[in-house]
Amino acid sequence: MIDIKTIRDDPQRIKDAARLKNVACDVDHLVEVDARRRAIQQELDALRTKSREGGQQIALCRNPKSDWHKRAVENGRSAEDIKTESDRIQQELNEVKVRIKPLEEEDRTVNEEFDGLMLTVPQPAAAEVPEGKDDTENIELRTVGDIPDFDFELKDHVTLGADLDIIDIERGVKLAGSRNYILKGDGALLHQAVLRLAQDMMIARGFVPMSVPVLVREEVMTGTGYFPTGRDQAYLCERDEKALVGTAEVPLTAYHSDEILNENQLPLKYCAMSTCFRREAGAAGKDTTGLYRIHLFDKVEQVIVCRNDEELSKKFHAEILQNAEDVLRALELPYRVVNVCTGDLGQGQVQKFDIETWMPSRDSYGETHSASRFYEFQARRLMLRYRDAGKKVRYCHTLNNTVIASPRILIPLLELHQNADGTVTIPESLRKYMNKDRIQPPAA
RNA sequence: GGAGAGGUGGCUGAGCGGCUGAAAGCAACGGUUUGCUAAACCGUCGUACUGGGUCACACCGGUACCGGGGGUUCGAAUCCCCCCCUCUCCGCCA
């Protein structure tokens, strides 16, 4: 969410941001509704003041022990007279009440409309974000690690998974429908090993590990910016008015919502391993093979909550990006870092760097990580604040990035570490979690 | 799922129809005192929206908020209804 004052002052800035991000937002209408909302509030405030003051006067009239009442009697007013005044005021306030009622109704509807519109306002991208219409115009910043040459014919992860008996897509689909899978034996172990490695690396860097709810209230989804716009991407448990999260970013970022932290508590660095649920609505027919685009996966996510300071945000953005790159290096996987253009940025993101890991079966880099910073966009929605040195209440800045998401990461991991004899070498960093250095085909 | 108790400011906790946005204590912050620390004393100390004010702060005013939503009333933290949440006991259970 953006400060309404800055929208009032410079609506064009938001219009430009919406155009660049390809986000629908009727800024003119919002500004109109805001004006109406303020006018109603002022009128209502005046009426309520009158009502309160009158009510207090009635209290004085009816209380013979009040100073006002004693003085009135001393000044020669009769009890009858005072009672008449009290009744007169009450009559008057009855009329005020009649005027307040419909105004309150209008106030409610206007505010609802206002709140709804505010939720559609995009966070303007940082000035240094490249302009572009969609992901085809993202800019490659650097490639790290060499794409290896193989002197034998590579199997894709689906074939490898079947031959090694570690991935069973067919039965996953039987149980749960399309875009589901089952990991088995060393496949299940490798999946957990990757997550464990990622988590251990984050703990070593001072991130507090958390175990968080994955079925959350809708406010939490709204607060982090996934609702209302992305509502159709989430699995809903409507009976309980809750949603399954698509990432642990949601509960981690909302952890301190509705709180006012002390500045000396910041920055907060959290990580969580959680299951992630994604409907992938609108992606029918896209990435249909294998483990790339699936409805359920596990991920270690990192979140930083820091002071309201753009330079600090940038600094931490670089830090969380580095954390993810270090994990890929530990997994001995080649990747590239991409500077995401305006058109491919989410509503709330100021800037985003994706990491794409080389995937032989796709003959391209595929997105495995996404590092974003939000400034106060999420914090405003979540009422996530802190008191600064001058005792002023300010909104925090939030950032997040993937540490590792599996099984998607198993695609490059299996495909790039396979050997001519059909085995897969387990990278050094994972061996302690697997107690082996190689995945072998099952004995015939 | 059944029975009971309860939700008030950062925390504890009073208030139970009107001068209460809310006592008191703790914590925090500023100051005095002090060789340092501690103690003592004085002061400050909720949030949101909004009007005025300022280059911007400061500052001055209004309204709302005592779990959420509705109702009664001239007036609700206080009375009534619905919902949510927490705790205790019982049942069930990974």
Å separating the CA of residue A188 from the C1' of nucleotide B70: 52
Q: How far is CA A354 from CA A66, A74, A254, A278, A409, in A?
A: 71, 81, 23, 19, 14
Surface-to-core class of residue A389, CB atoms within 10 Å of its CB (0-12 exposed, 13-18 middle, 19+ buried): exposed
pLDDT class of A337 with cuts at 50, 70, 90 = very high
pLDDT above 90: residue A258: no
**Token output for A48:** 């309520």
Å separating the CA of residue A389 from the C1' of nucleotide B57: 15
The answer to whether A392 CB is within 7 Å of strand B is yes
The answer to whether A57 CB is within 7 Å of strand B is no
Mean pLDDT of A101-113: 90
Å separating the CA of residue A390 from the C1' of nucleotide B39: 28
The answer to whether A231 CB is within 7 Å of strand B is no
Q: Please tell me which residue lies nearest to nucleotide B18, judged from CA to C1'.
A: A59
**Token output for A285:** 């027919």
Three-state DSSP string of A308-351: CCHHHHHHHHHHHHHHHHHHHHHCCCCEEEEECCHHHCCCCCCE
Q: Which nucleotide is nearest to A68 (CA to C1')?
A: B19
pTM value surpassing 0.95: no
Q: Which nucleotide is nearest to A111 (CA to C1')?
A: B49
Q: Which nucleotide is nearest to A4 (CA to C1')?
A: B49
In this structure, are residues A397 and A348 in contact, taking their beta carbons and an 8 Å threshold? Answer: no
The answer to whether A109 CB is within 7 Å of strand B is no
Q: How far is CA A79 from CA A8, A63, A74, A82, in A?
A: 54, 11, 11, 5
d(CA A174, CA A170): 6
Bridge partners of A268, per DSSP, are A305
Question: What's residue A140's pLDDT?
Answer: 97
d(CA A49, CA A47): 5
Q: How far is CA A438 from CA A124, A295, A426, A427, A430, in A?
A: 48, 29, 5, 9, 11
In this structure, are residues A114 and A33 in contact, taking their beta carbons and an 8 Å threshold? Answer: yes
| Displacement of CA A166 from its chain's centroid (Å) | 33
Q: How far is CA A249 from CA A193, A194, A209, A339, A415, in A?
A: 21, 19, 13, 21, 29
d(CA A425, CA A413): 9
Average pLDDT, rounded, for chain A = 93
Q: How far is CA A115 from CA A4, A9, A100, A145, A258, in A?
A: 11, 18, 22, 47, 17
Contacts for A426 with CB less than 8 Å, ≥ 6 apart: A190, A193, A417, A434, A436, A437, A438, A439
> Terminal CA-to-CA distance of chain A, rounded, Å?
59
pLDDT class of A276 with cuts at 50, 70, 90 = very high
The answer to whether A387 CB is within 7 Å of strand B is yes
Question: What's residue A84's pLDDT?
Answer: 87
Question: What's residue A219's pLDDT?
Answer: 86
Q: Which nucleotide is nearest to A58 (CA to C1')?
A: B74
Nucleotides of B under 7 A from a protein CB: 10, 18-19, 29, 46-51, 58, 61-64, 70, 74-75
Q: Which of residues 188-227 of A touch strand B (CB under 7 A)?
A: none
Surface-to-core class of residue A213, CB atoms within 10 Å of its CB (0-12 exposed, 13-18 middle, 19+ buried): middle
Give the strand pairing for A268-277 and A208-210. parallel
Question: What's residue A426's pLDDT?
Answer: 98
Phi, psi of A392 (to 5 degrees): -80, 140
Q: Percent of chain A at pLDDT above 90? A: 76
Mean pLDDT of A11-24: 94
Query: Does A325 qualify as catalytic in the annotation?
Result: no
The answer to whether A265 CB is within 7 Å of strand B is no
**pLDDT tens-digit series, residues A359-398:** 999 999 999 999 999 999 999 999 899 988 878 889 999 9
Helices (H), A119-248: 157-163, 169-176, 186-204, 218-223
Mean pLDDT of A247-268: 90
Q: Which of residues 58-87 of A touch strand B (CB under 7 A)?
A: 58-60, 62-63, 66-68
Question: What's residue A218's pLDDT?
Answer: 86
The answer to whether A154 CB is within 7 Å of strand B is no
The answer to whether A5 CB is within 7 Å of strand B is yes
Residue A16: in which H helix or E strand, if any? helix A11-21
Question: What's residue A216's pLDDT?
Answer: 87
**pLDDT tens-digit series, residues A52-96:** 999 988 988 888 777 788 788 888 888 888 888 888 999 999 999
> What are chain A's domains?
4-118 (1.10.287), 135-439 (3.30.930.10)
Question: What's residue A368's pLDDT?
Answer: 98
Mean pLDDT of A277-283: 92
The answer to whether A93 CB is within 7 Å of strand B is yes
Sheet with A384-387, strands from edge to edge, namely A259-262, A384-387, A393-395
**pLDDT tens-digit series, residues A128-182:** 999 999 999 999 999 999 999 999 999 999 999 999 999 999 999 999 999 999 9
Look up the ipTM and state it.
0.86
| HSE, side-chain direction, 13 A CA sphere, residue A273 | 17
d(CA A178, CA A192): 23
In this structure, are residues A377 and A225 in contact, taking their beta carbons and an 8 Å threshold? Answer: yes
Å separating the CA of residue A386 from the C1' of nucleotide B47: 12
**pLDDT tens-digit series, residues A196-253:** 999 999 999 999 999 888 988 888 899 999 998 889 999 988 777 788 999 999 999 9
Q: Please tell me which residue lies nearest to nucleotide B45, judged from CA to C1'.
A: A391
